[in-house]
Amino acid sequence: MKPSHVAIGVAVLALSLFFFVGLSGISGEEGYAGLSPRFVPTLVAVGLAVCGALLTWQGVRGGFRNMPEEDAELPNAPHNFKGFLWVAAGLVLNMALIGTLGFVFSSTLLMVCVARGYGSRRIVRDLIVGLCITVPMWALFEFLLGINLPLLPIAGF
């Protein structure tokens, strides 16, 4: 048994329990395209529960499979606090600016901040990748799912 691996599995199970408890606070009335607003959170909760159970089972049976022995324990290296701040700032900016800049630009800014948090220094490339990811996502929500995401509210779109 690997206690640190079991702890990771139990933590994922606890997170799934948090999602299951939170489902009671979501209205079950019909949402977009006939799906309940509980549909996706339920999928996430079930997925987390399955992953948590499998991780716990592997931890109890001797640790995660196909993992080199030197990576089998939790890292001793310090956490990258500066990277965490970049990712957190990107999330806060996305929430603060989505109503003004719209989904595409605020999510592209989030992509740039996350990439910077993970060590990228290529801002132009990150902007292009962010746009290449967010524009199709916006189009998917807007045209296929019929969910109106703000494109550019400041310009009236």
| Lowest-pLDDT choice from 50-54, 72-76, 78-82, 99-103 | 72-76
What CA–CA distance (Å, rounded) separates 153 from 156?
A: 5
Predicted pLDDT of residue 28 = 73
pLDDT in tens, 27-57: 777 666 666 778 888 999 999 999 999 999 9
State mean pLDDT over 125-142.
Answer: 92
Residue 38 and residue 25 in contact, taking contact as beta carbons nearer than 8 Å: no
Instruction: Please determine, for residue 155, whether its predicted confidence score (pLDDT) is greater than 80.
Output: no
Predicted pLDDT of residue 69 = 58
Residue 95 and residue 149 in contact, taking contact as beta carbons nearer than 8 Å: no
pTM here?
A: 0.56
Question: Structure tokens of 20?
Answer: 């299951």
Predicted pLDDT of residue 56 = 92
Q: Which residues are CB-neighbours of 119 under 8 A, at least 6 positions away?
A: 83
Residue 126 and residue 120 in contact, taking contact as beta carbons nearer than 8 Å: yes
Q: Where are the alpha helices (DSSP H) in the chain?
A: 3-22, 39-60, 81-101, 103-117, 123-139
What CA–CA distance (Å, rounded) separates 91 from 110?
A: 6
pLDDT in tens, 87-123: 999 999 999 998 888 899 999 999 999 999 989 999 9
Residue 8 and residue 59 in contact, taking contact as beta carbons nearer than 8 Å: yes
Q: Which residues are CB-neighbours of 75 under 8 A, at least 6 positions away?
A: none
